[in-house]
A and B are shown apart, each in its own frame.
Chain A
Amino acid sequence: MDKQFQPVTGGNKSMLLKSPAAACCGPAQKIDDSIFRQDFVTGTFINEQVTFPVAATLLTRKDRWNHVKARTGSFRNNFTVVPGLYAVGNPSSNSDVFVSANYGMSFNYLREALHGMNAWILVLDTKGINVWCAAGKGTFGTAEVVNRIRLSGVEKVVKHRKIIVPQLGAPGVDAAEVQKQTGFRVMYGPVLAKDIKAYVAAGYKATGEMRIIKFGVIDRLVLTPMEINPAMKKYPQFALAVLVIFGLTPEGIIFKNAFYDGMPFLLGGLFAVLTGAFMTPMLLPFVPFRSFALKGLLTGLAVFVPLSFSMADVFQYSELTQLAFVLLFTAFTSYFAVQFTGATTFTHLSGVKKELKYALPIYIVTAVLSAFLILYDRVGGMI
């Protein structure tokens, strides 16, 4: 792997060994050197005869491109950082220790936020999952914090006994238990890494604002690709089903006309993904109801009722097929809208369970019913 050296920030040049290779073979520490061979490592830092990688605090274009790729799902699952302790700037035994997940994006936002500071970053092994998700699963959790404090050597590197854990990691971390087992006091930093400087400047106090997860239009926008992508993966199966249904004749399946006749449904599937996985999330605060299934129902009706009339016009559909069109795609939209609960920052499990208890059977019945309506309309007429 080729290695990029980035400009070293801060006044730590004298402390750096430029070659990571020189660092790996010291007798003081036996680690495999993969931690030093990461793109963002600008050099090494020696403290108490132990060598630590120095993390750059300026993100490169490649880093930002990686974020785009991770957001759109093309490389979400191997965007990882080697767990361990990293230096930022020129840290001392009094410098703060910030804890992060080993998901590339979580780590990158943190090191960027620490630009110009001298600090330590303790990267936990969260299996490449971001702080919030990993905390929910418990991989960003008490056991791993304790384990990483012991493995990383941070106990020897700093004199103080406190670590700053991102607030969004709190669902997995029992602060009292960490302190009991390691002596380190857990302080919860702000929700967003970009507020860290203000948090530190205020004497490790986050304002009420900094403690709240917001869910603005940009937050929603960047999450939609991860809703649209998985939905589109199922599209070929859906398209095949449409073609089979529209190709069905008393003489067997004839695909010749299926493509033309089924066209509105093929397009409808795409519209449903856009309406449910993009439009509904974007309009979320403006669509009435707290329930996502109902929100999706509304946007679905708003889009597919008018659309069904123009489709019926152009493709000479009967009322039955038109009804099937509205039913099917409104159900799809509602389904995709409920899926978005996984991405929001204010829905909860009990609510999603309650919604799905009613909605899932309705979705299934609606899909089957729509298929019957179309079949009855087409084949029934022919027999």
Chain B
Amino acid sequence: MKYLQNSTLKFFPEKCTGCGRCTEVCPHAVFEMSDKKAVMKHKDKCMECGACAKNCAFGAISVNSGVGCAAAVITGMLRGTEPVCGCDSSSGCC
């Protein structure tokens, strides 16, 4: 299953050292290793979890991460703030 294609994932190959961390953490196999470098193979599968960017020690990846949670976005829109995830309330968030 794939979602909308507007993921904010960005990859800067020139900074990549080929450490392979991104392939270890991504739950959708967006990155693959080829020739000792990462390749952003399946951008449309990215869910913006942020694991790759957080764990790439060389700043080769950037993404606006956040849980794609509608309840959070709606609360945010109504209050005019950033999405507020109500995981500790009874909402079915996450």
> In whole Å, how far is B40's beta carbon from the nearest beta carbon of chain A?
15
Known: A211-B24, A215-B1, A349-B83. A174 touches B55 (CB 8 A): yes
Stretch of A35-43, A50-58, A112-120, A284-292 lying at the B interface: A284-292
Find out whether the CB atom of B3 lies under 8 angstroms from the CB atom of A351. Answer: yes
* Interface of B (DSSP majority class): loop
- Our pick among A129, A213, A233 for the contact of B88 (Cβ within 8 Å) is A129
Label chain A's interface by main secondary structure: helix
Chain A residue nearest to B52 in the complex (CB): A170
**B45 near A: Cβ within 8 Å?**
yes
| A290 CA / B4 CA spacing, docked (Å) | 6
Query: Known pairs A77-B88, A344-B1, A351-B68. 9 more at Cβ < 8 A?
Result: A133-B87, A171-B25, A211-B27, A212-B27, A212-B29, A230-B91, A342-B72, A349-B69, A350-B64
By a CB distance below 8 angstroms, the chain A residues around B26 are: 211
- A167-B94 contact in complex given A136-B66, A338-B70, A348-B47, C-beta closer than 8 Å: no
Nearest B residue (CB) for A293: B70
Query: Knowing A215-B1, A345-B27 touch, does A226 contact B92 (C-beta < 8 A)?
Result: yes
- Bound state CA distance, A344 and B27, in angstroms? 13
**A234 CB → nearest B CB, Å:** 11
Q: Which A119-172 residues have C-beta < 8 A from chain B?
A: 127, 129-130, 132-133, 135-137, 167-168, 170-172
Chain A residues contacting B28 (CB-CB under 8 Å) are 212-213, 346
Q: Residues of A contacting B23 with CB < 8 Å?
A: 211
Q: Is A360 positioned at the interface, with any CB of B under 8 Å from its CB? A: yes
Interface size in chain A (residues, C-beta < 8 A): 59
User: Contacting B94 at CB < 8 Å: which of A77, A136, A356?
Assistant: A136
Query: Interface size of B by Cβ–Cβ distance < 8 Å?
Result: 47
**Closest chain B residue, CB of each to CB of A174:** B54
B21 within 8 A of A: yes
> Which chain A residues lie closer than 8 Å to B57 at the CB level?
174-176
Q: Does B54 lie within 8 Å of A170, measured CB to CB?
A: yes
Is B7 in the interface zone, CB < 8 Å from A? yes
Return the chain B residue nearest A205 by Cβ: B24
Determine whether B50 belongs to the interface, using a CB cutoff of 8 Å to chain A.
yes
| B92-A352 in contact (CB<8A) | no
Whether A346 contacts B1 by the Cβ 8 Å rule is yes
Across the A-B interface, give the 7 residue pairs with the lowest CB-CB distance, nearest first: A342-B69, A226-B92, A349-B66, A348-B48, A351-B4, A170-B51, A170-B25
